[in-house]
Amino acid sequence: MELSVGGEYGIVIDAVGAEQFAWLRERAYAGWVLIMDEETERYCLPRIERYLGSTPLVKIVVPAGERHKHLDTCKFIWEEMFRGGVGRRWCCLNLGGGVIGDMGGFAAGTFKRGIDFVQIPTTLLSQVDASVGGKLGIDFYEVKNSIGLFANPQAVWVDAGFLGTLPEREIRSGYAEIIKHALIADEQQWSELRDIKDIRGLDWPAVIERSVDIKRQVVLKDPFERGIRKALNFGHTIGHAVESYFLHREDRLLHGEAIAIGMITESWLSHETGDLSAAALDDIRDYCLRVYGHQHVPEASFPVLLDLMRQDKKNDTEAINFTFLEKPGEAVVNKTATADMITRSLAYYNSLGS
C-alpha cells in the first residue's frame, strides 16, 4: 500500500524488502548513508541488511535516546559523512524512531545544502507521527526540536514488522497518536478503537495506514502549520508540559503516556469551555485510563507546567493556545484557555485516580 504526499513522495506501508531497495537502486545514488542508533543497529538492521548489496555504504551509529538528539550528535553525523566521502548525489537512510528520523533528516537536509533521504521509522510513534510532515530537527537550548527545518524525504517505508522489536510499553505509547488522529479527524476509527480491549491483537498495518492517512491529509492542507495542521496538537499542549516535567524524575513518562493525560485534560477543557458533550468526554477519559492507567500529577507542579506551556514555540503571547474537540472526529484550532481553567483540568485529571 502506498500513500502519496503532495505527489512528492510516497509512504509505503509494507514489509521493507527487495521491492523498496529495487526502487532505491533504480535511483542510482552514488552511495547510501545508513544512520542508526545503538538499539536499531542491533534490533532493526538485521531486517534490512541483506538488501544493502554492493552500493557504497557509510554506516553511522549514534547513542540511543532523546538526550542525544542535540547539536553535538548532529555534528558527529556530519563529520562521519565527510569522512566517508559522502557527496551530493548520495541518499541517507534513517533507520530508527523519532530521534533518528528527526536528527538524521536534519543532518541530511543540511549536508551540502541538502541530500536526499528516506525515513525508515522503527517505532509505532515514529511510524504514525514523525514519518509524515517533513518536520526535522534537534533539541537545542533545552527546547525540543528548536533547531530544524521542513524538508520532505524521498520516501517513507513503514514496516509494522519492526514493532516486534519494541517493548509493549513503547507500542502503547505510540498508540496514543493513533487515538489522537482518530479523535481529531475520524469518528469511525475512534468508535472502532474504543471496542478494542487489548491492543496486542490489533491488525497493525491496517490501523497504521488509516492513522498515517489522517495525518497526511492534514499536512497536505497546511504544510507549514499556519492553520488546520495545529489540529495535530490536540492533547499536546498540556501533554508536552507533563512530559517535560516528568523527564527529570525517576518515574518518567513516555511521550504517549503524557499525551494521554493531555487528551483527558484537553477534552475536559473542550467540554467545559467548548462544545464537547459530557458523554464524549467520559468516553475519551474512560478509554485513555483503560489503556494508560492513571498517573498522579503533583499539585506543586502546576505552576511549572503552566510556565512550560507558555514557553512552547507555538505561543507568542500570554494566552495559551489549544486545539479543542468539538466532538469525536472534529477538532477546532486556535482556542485558548486561562491558567485557572488549565489548573482545574489538571485537578479533574487527578480526581480520576482512585
Residues forming the site for a second copy (CB under 8 A): 30, 71, 75, 78-79, 82, 87-89, 109-114, 135-137, 140-141, 143, 145-151, 313-314, 316
Residue of 233, 243, 257, 271 marked active site = 233
Residue of 181, 255, 271, 285 marked active site = 255
Query: In angstroms, what is the minimal distance from the CB of 72 to a second copy?
Result: 10
Q: Is 177 a residue of the active site?
A: yes
Q: Which of 20, 321 has the CB closer to a second copy?
A: 321
Q: Which of 75, 169 has the CB closer to a second copy?
A: 75
Q: Is-contact 288 263, C-beta < 8 A?
A: yes
Q: Is 221 a residue of the active site?
A: no
Query: In angstroms, what is the minimal distance from the CB of 82 to a second copy?
Result: 4
Q: Is 113 a residue of the active site?
A: yes
Which residues have CB under 8 Å from 237's CB, separation 6+?
A: 262, 266, 309, 312, 314, 320, 321, 322, 323
Q: Which of 45, 306 has the CB closer to a second copy?
A: 306
Q: Is-contact 41 61, C-beta < 8 A?
A: yes
Q: Is 215 a residue of the active site?
A: yes
Q: Is 119 exposed, middle or buried (0-12, 13-18, 19+ CB in 10 A)?
A: buried
Query: In angstroms, what is the minimal distance from the CB of 53 to a second copy?
Result: 20
CA distance linking residue 283 with residue 70, whole number of Å: 39
Q: What is the dihedral of CA 279, 341, 296, 306, to 10 degrees?
A: 140
Q: Which of 147, 220 has the CB closer to a second copy?
A: 147
Question: What cell was used for 266?
Answer: 484537553
Q: Is 294 a residue of the active site?
A: no
Q: Which of 94, 122 has the CB closer to a second copy?
A: 94
Residue of 47, 172, 210, 215 marked active site = 215
Q: Is-contact 77 117, C-beta < 8 A?
A: no
CA distance linking residue 48 with residue 52, whole number of Å: 7
Q: Is 248 a residue of the active site?
A: no
Q: Is-contact 22 52, C-beta < 8 A?
A: no
Query: In angstroms, what is the minimal distance from the CB of 178 to a second copy?
Result: 24
Residue of 49, 113, 226, 248 marked active site = 113
Q: Is-contact 263 324, C-beta < 8 A?
A: no
How many other CB atoms are there within 10 angstroms of residue 81's CB atom?
22
Query: In angstroms, what is the minimal distance from the CB of 315 to a second copy?
Result: 8
Question: What cell was used for 338?
Answer: 486561562
Query: In angstroms, what is the minimal distance from the CB of 141 to a second copy?
Result: 4
Q: Is 225 a residue of the active site?
A: yes
Residue of 144, 172, 180, 240 marked active site = 240
CA distance linking residue 135 with residue 139, whole number of Å: 13
91 in helix, strand or coil? strand
Q: Which of 143, 247 has the CB closer to a second copy?
A: 143
Residue of 170, 177, 209, 266 marked active site = 177
- Residues forming the active site: 113, 135, 177, 215, 225, 229, 233, 236, 240, 255
